[in-house]
Chains A and B, each alone.
Chain A
Amino acid sequence: MDRGHVVPPSILAPPTATSEGEQEMFLPGETHRLELTRERGIVTEVPAGSEEQLSAPGDETMIINLGPQHPSTHGVLRLMMELDGEEVLRVKPVIGYLHTGMEKTAEDLMYIQGSTNVTRMDYLNPLGNELCFSLAVEQLLDLEVPPRAAAIRVLMAELCRINSHLIWFATSGMDLGATTVMIHGFRERELILRFFERTTGLRMNCDYIRPGGVAADLPDGWADDVAEITSVIPRRLDESRNLLDDNPIFRRRTQGVGILTREEAVALGATGPILRATGVAWDLRKAFPYSGYEQYDFEVPTHDDCDVWARYQVRVAEIYESARIVEQVIETMPAGDYRVQDKKVTPPPRHRIDTSMEALIHHFKLFTEGFKVPPGETYVAVESPKGELGCYLVSDGGARAYRQHTRGPCFYHVHAMPAMMVGGLVADAVLVIGSSDPVLGEVDR
């Protein structure tokens, strides 16, 4: 089949060598009308009179690939674009290059192992994934974690949000050629990762938040470490922002670029900073508070411009808000248990295993057979740095999840990209990718 390449097919590799076949973008005449509108970024309704224009075969256009191995795609995202010169006419994301079947794997893992699996999905927000999964399991168990565990979870989730936004800040600066902010972003993130390592033993994929609480109590001197983070990062971020905020090049590259209106964002399921950049003050921490977020005082930053600039402003403002929440957690951290004292769920303390046969057996049974969860199904959503991170969990009464589905915000943001890119230039498309902050581990799962 002619794929619309301008290059004669004879000098191309055999069509199966790099082709994803049916999942690719085809010529306008070979594409379903609705799909064509989607590729052209039309979400709500087709404008009158554009029917013929939609299906007109492009003779001066070409279909090219951006990615999957392209430094600006933030992973293995592949975008097929129909271009007219430098103008983007149609976009189709082709995903699946990082698909490792994590939802299938979850069906073979006990609930106690589940955190290890989900933490690898959005690898810039590992603790948020664990939090979402643990809340779902706890809801099926009808379990409420102690206040200290909930506060530790909020602390770690907010540090993770700062971590994720710093990576976004660094890499989207890099997309513009601003290497200084890239270095700055990674430098600041290092503080957080060092704290994660001290607390959980790992820098990423921490497996720290587990059903029933957290894996270990905070280390001695944690408050000083975190206080240093919350004092250093906002100050340094001020410096880094000075490089971008009033930079005329940055403003011209981002303002008015990659527009996604409120209606489009809602229709395409775009959540998080992308939705908030359309003026909607939507945050699950406020709308459906979980893990005690209602105790903390913070703002939901919004912006009305709907463009890359607006998303930049919203995310940067969120870093300051997260730092505010973390400061409040330091002040109000309750004493008590860091995990629920329910022997069905919680293993015995390590020192008791050395002295008590029962504790040893209990520990052994818990880690070989797991704990059983009553039958049922639930959907739990948390506000991840990217948007609504949901976990749909079904239990059949056994020790392993019958079905564990993760609703990844990035999956839908990737499919909202055509609406943001079409009509712009290829160079702007790179900014759109950066501003929607995709993590392909979560898209493909």
Chain B
Amino acid sequence: MTDTPPDTPAADGQDETPARDPAGVGRAAPDGPTLGEVEGVVDFTPEGEQARTQPPTPLLADVLTRFPDTAWDVSHGQEVVFVPPDSLLDVAAWLRDEAHFDMCVDVTAVDYLTHWDRAMGTWSGERTRFEVVVNVLDLGGEGRDPRRLRLRVPIDEEQGRCPSLAFVWPLADSAEREVYDLFGIVFDGHPDLTRILMPDDWEGHPLRKDYDTGRIPVTFVGDTERPSRTPVRFEPTASTRAEGDDEGDGTDG
């Protein structure tokens, strides 16, 4: 870093581009970020600052210029874009229509309840509890190499809402139902936002970090008449009230 001429600050980031492997799936590039870089020493000189804030790949630079409210990161050679929920649909439509990202491979989420100090690249917005993660894929062809991109969408805990991608990539229909089911994030505009893996009457969203595994015994739909299967955590529901009448003592009715 010391022998870099001070008048070409962006050269650092540019030079690293071919070394990193945007495809991501292969083994880590030999001079990719080392453990030391990941964990600690950050270069605070102006050159280092510039190198860190300039997107290192053409795709990220393109996204960043078109959508100034996004941020970027390169995680283990994989390109990541942070997108605020408000501009998610615009970014997604641009990625699909202009940038050849025809296929969305996956939509999932992470609950960062106990990990607020995670690395978030150049994201300077608010840190949120949830993140919706969208992996998109360009199948290549017509002279293009296949490539991947990951969108991380910070989702506020209070609101817990995210625009639905079901109209952009039809695959998101089922994937977002799973995220809704397991995290309780509501996708605005989703045509059929119902649970998909858990039963309809399940309480809570299991993949949240504050969901206590083992708190609720296994229940099955339609077995509410059987006292042995009623939830341990007592709340006055129609069925528990009925059983309370049988046992009588101690309850006000």
A residues bordering B, Cβ < 8 Å?
14, 16-23, 31-35, 38, 43, 95-96, 99, 101, 103-104, 108, 135, 139-140, 142, 144, 266-269, 271, 280, 282, 284, 287-290, 374-382, 388, 390, 392, 394, 396, 402-403, 405, 407, 411-412, 415, 444-445
Contacts and interface: CB of A to CB of B under 8 A. Distances in A.
A144 B166 contact: no
A135 B24 CA distance: 11
A415 B169 CA distance: 13
A95 B198 CA distance: 9
A20 B221 contact: yes
Contacts of B178: 411
Contacts of B222: 14, 16-19
A403 B110 contact: yes
Interface residues of B, number: 59
A402 B206 contact: no
Contacts of B169: 267, 269
B15 interface: no
A403 B196 CA distance: 20
B25 A376 contact: no
B143 interface: no
Contacts of B192: 31-32, 34-35, 38
A206 to B, nearest CB: 23
A95 B199 CA distance: 10
A142 B35 contact: yes
Contacts of B175: 411-412
A269 B200 contact: no
Contacts of B27: 144, 290
Interface string B102-124: 11111010110011001100000
Nearest to A92: B192
Contact of A284 (B25, B173, B199, B221): B25
Given A375-B118, A396-B115, A23 B35 contact: no
A310 to B, nearest CB: 18
A90 B102 CA distance: 26
Contacts of B133: 392, 405
A103 B191 CA distance: 26
Contacts of B104: 269
A248 B10 CA distance: 66
Contacts of B146: 287-288
A126 B39 CA distance: 34
24 contacts: A18-B221, A22-B195, A23-B200, A38-B170, A95-B196, A104-B206, A104-B213, A108-B213, A142-B28, A267-B169, A268-B170, A269-B103, A269-B169, A280-B139, A374-B38, A378-B76, A379-B135, A381-B105, A382-B25, A390-B106, A392-B108, A396-B115, A402-B110, A415-B171
Contacts of B198: 96, 99
Given A104-B206, A139-B28, A379-B135, A267 B171 contact: yes
A16 B238 CA distance: 15
Nearest to A382: B25
Nearest to B114: A396
B108 A405 contact: yes
